[in-house]
Amino acid sequence: MYHIKSDKRCIKSAGRIGEALRELLSEKPLSDITVTDIQKRSGAGRSTFYRLFDNTDDVLLYLAEEEFREMVRKYRELEWTDFTEHMIRNIMSESRVILNVTSSGKMHVISKALRNDLTREAEADRYEFDNLSRYMIAIFIGGCISLVTAWDENGREESVDELARMMRRAFDYKAIEDILTRPAKHDEKTGRASSDK
């Protein structure tokens, strides 16, 4: 977990470290980026880095939370009616950090960042945060992460509209039930069940 205090110096140093990681992500894969790379690029001393962050995952978490906060701010400002489409659109078009994390297999960082941010937003709105709310957020996060991961694995071919439609359909429990209970088609040549694609 990162340890950024609210004083200006810590915030400025964390910003430089975050920006250094953002720059490095445009040059090489996350798996090749070290704390030393980030520290050198940011100009922050090693002790400053470790005072603010425990490791590169912490810097990723910090950046991802920052990006999700900005997405939610835009959502409120632009008065979008479809939160899912807005989040997908922003992840696909603007989020180099989130897409790099997706490609690196560190989805736990995205999950934690999104959970932290959605929880913070709900609490800021004085929304009564009960167990059902926590589960609903967990389900939404799981869906977003799975969708972005599948999109990445599929070569990022689908449009925002297609992904939003898929996400809405995935949360249509009747549709899930229909897919899971659909009888298998049989291949006449082999007599075996075949997948319906």
Question: Got the DSSP string for 129-193?
Answer: --HHHHHHHHHHHHHHHHHHHHHHHTTS-S-HHHHHHHHHHHT-HHHHHHHHHSPPEE-TTT-SE
What is the mean predicted confidence (pLDDT) over 97-113?
77
Per-residue pLDDT tens digits for 46-56: 999 999 999 99
pLDDT at 191 over 90: no
Per-residue pLDDT tens digits for 46-98: 999 999 999 998 998 898 888 888 887 787 777 666 777 777 777 776 667 77
d(CA 102, CA 137): 19
- Side chain identity at 173, as an amino acid letter? Y
pLDDT at 162 over 90: no
Q: For residue 193, what are the β-bridge partners?
A: 186
pLDDT band at 110 (very low <50, low <70, confident <90, very high): confident
